[in-house]
Amino acid sequence: MTSLDPVLDEHYQTVLARNPGEREFHQAVLEVLETLSPVVRRHPEYADQSVIERICEPERQLIFRVPWVDDQGVVQVNRAFRVEFNSALGPYKGGLRFHPSVYLGIVKFLGFEQVFKNALTGMPIGGGKGGSDFDPKGRSDGEVMRFCQSLMTELYRHLGEYTDVPAGDIGVGEREIGYLFGQYKRITNRYESGVLTGKGLAYGGSQVRKEATGYGTVFFTEQMLAAAGKGISGRRVVVSGSGNVAIYAAAKAAEMGAQVVACSDSSGYVVDEAGLDIDLLRRVKEVDRARISAYAEEREGARFVEGGDVWEVACEVALPCATQNELDAEAATTLVENGVLSVAEGANMPCTPEAVDVFQKGGVLFAPGKAANAGGVATSALEMQQNASRDSWTAQHTEERLHQIMAGIHESCATSAEEYGVPGDYVAGANIAGFRRVADAMLALGVV
């Protein structure tokens, strides 16, 4: 751990005291504060006006119960959260996660990251996050619908296209967004398309939204490699996960000429030296909703490793796209020893601080999630634009806009790192660029 500037350490100690037991949130805050020393030295007004303390404290935290009835007629009760973290740049924007691991600390970590991620896009959106400990796996469509309707019956009063605009995340896809939007429309008697993003194309969704986070991660990787005089074509790529982000990161990398040889889920990983068959992977995970082993059963030459760590597979480009803290120092060391050139976080904080340290000391190009996986929320903002103008864009136009936004994020990170004396450090560059945009807006708005 880097020694914190005394002013920053005081704020970090306050975060620890105010938020006991929320280790993911502590980790996210520390990762940002460790890079801000040169900023607060050059801009003492951020400390003088308590911007740092304010930016670490959510504007609003909502916790509520979600009662619903399962297919056997048994009443179930889950807990749900919405953390509206910062609205200095625009309405709160961030996904909903349905997973048994969800608790307040995870939602706050995700919301805190979202504030800076959204700022980096250059779009007028603030940061927030939400979710529930509900697990949609193994539940019928009817059960998922009843849960979503119950959740929205409380959540709707806190939402609005100028207030708070949720989207999907782990466990929340187009099906769940549809049920949530249907209940919102029913309760409010308003067809307010811009209140949720990630919608189906039939009722106000955006082309490329499903693919956007994965595509954006690869676009950022492309920019990062190009800045170092390298390219992505012909590179050996490993992706963790096999959800939306992983599938479409693999698809875009392959389209750009890379050889994507492995992906994973919680049961293990598959290696396909011929290159992943993206259509088969999509069918196995999105249609059949099967375990990743089913891919190896159908694909000649592919092999499944039960319970293994996908980072054992040698690669030049690593794209962790599963969940937080999935890639530790041991895995990072293995990747470096096997010759990895670049790592870009497709998930939110998938690399532990120790892993990031291994990459940076090993000379690996490393892109943090708040920069590399910002493509999803950027395209959500594009969906909001289309909804506001009652318009619909082509997939080609939307993807071009996404590519431009990711190039702009890369430029912003690289420029900020250079300006503050840490050239090539994308972690510092992303944190500084995102923080300064939010902090300057907060100063302009006064103490609110």
The answer for residues whose C-beta is within 8 angstroms of residue 233's C-beta and 6 or more apart is 256, 257, 258
Structure tokens at 358: 């291994």
Contact by Cβ (8 Å): 283, 251: no
Q: Round to whole Å and give the CA distance between 295 and 439.
A: 47
The answer for residues whose C-beta is within 8 angstroms of residue 240's C-beta and 6 or more apart is 246, 263, 264, 269, 310, 311, 319, 320, 321, 322, 326, 327, 347, 350
- Cα–Cα distances (Å) from 425 to 21, 224, 381, 421, 422, in that order, read 30, 11, 27, 9, 6
Q: How many residues does the chain have?
A: 448
Structure tokens at 37: 């020393």
Among candidate residues 321, 322, 354, 358, the one with its CA nearest the CA of residue 338? 358
Chain position carrying tokens 């993807």 = 399
User: DSSP string of 261-327?
Assistant: EEEEETTEEEE-TT---HHHHHIIIIIS---THHHHHHSTT-EEEET--GGGS--SEEEE-S-TT-B
The answer for residues whose C-beta is within 8 angstroms of residue 99's C-beta and 6 or more apart is 131, 133, 135, 170, 171
Q: Round to whole Å and give the CA distance between 114 and 94.
A: 7
Among candidate residues 389, 384, 366, the one with its CA nearest the CA of residue 318? 366
Q: Round to whole Å and give the CA distance between 311 and 313.
A: 5
Contact by Cβ (8 Å): 269, 241: no
Catalytic status, residue 137: no
Contact by Cβ (8 Å): 409, 220: yes
Structure tokens at 379: 């395209």
Among 129, 252, 285, 370, the active-site one is 129
User: DSSP string of 384-418?
Assistant: HHHHHTT----HHHHHHHHHHHHHHHHHHHHHHHH
Which are the catalytic amino acids?
129
